[in-house]
Amino acid sequence: MATHGQIGNPTNLSDQKAPSVLNFEELSHGQVNNYLPGRQGKFFIYGTEFSDTSSVNIQTGFEQATIIEVEFIVMKPATDGANLQVQFYEAGTLEDAGVYDNARYKQDSSNNVSFTNDSANADIPLGEVGNGTGEAYCGTLTICHANNSATQTNYYARGVGMNADPELECYEVGGELPQASVVDGIKVFFSSGNIASGKIKMYGYA
């Protein structure tokens, strides 16, 4: 067994259990990495953890895959009842105009259901979140052909969170950025107040 960087069996990474052995995510540093095994399926691009910030901007790694998946982990607002929102960067410029088309489905723990279908939004709304104990948002946003300048960018989000009532709510959001452009970044923020705390990880699909 190889531990603490010892030679052991260098081809058997699964046998290297010691904490000093780097995993693939740590080795890649969020960049294209040709010395790792050939990419098959989902691969790590970028991760960040933050607190008390107005927004999180990720503008790296979008060129690495046609399909990008963003994971939101325990996203908590400073302001009770704020909505978690996303905007895209197009060729380095933030798109904050009313251009996002989407449909949104929501069901809460009291069995209330709502469906909203609209266009020309200035952001992509992911869900309302409370800031009390145990209230936060967790979910994923999938972005399709972001690195293709010849077509529009589609997106689909699923998440669950506790709102300010408090009610447990499940959200599904689907839509598009209708103009043909390269999406090379995202801005994540709440509709009011700061992000109190949270973590984001970004993956690509080979």
Q: Do 148 and 182 contact (CB within 8 A), yes or no?
A: yes
**Using 50, 70 and 90 to split pLDDT, how confident is the model at 105?**
very high
Q: Per residue in 42-99, pLDDT tens?
A: 999 999 999 999 999 999 999 999 999 999 999 999 999 999 999 999 999 999 999 9
The whole-number pLDDT of residue 18 equals 47
Both tokens of residue 124?
A: 């992509």
Separation between Cα atoms, residue 49 and residue 52, nearest integer Å: 11
**Using 50, 70 and 90 to split pLDDT, how confident is the model at 163?**
confident
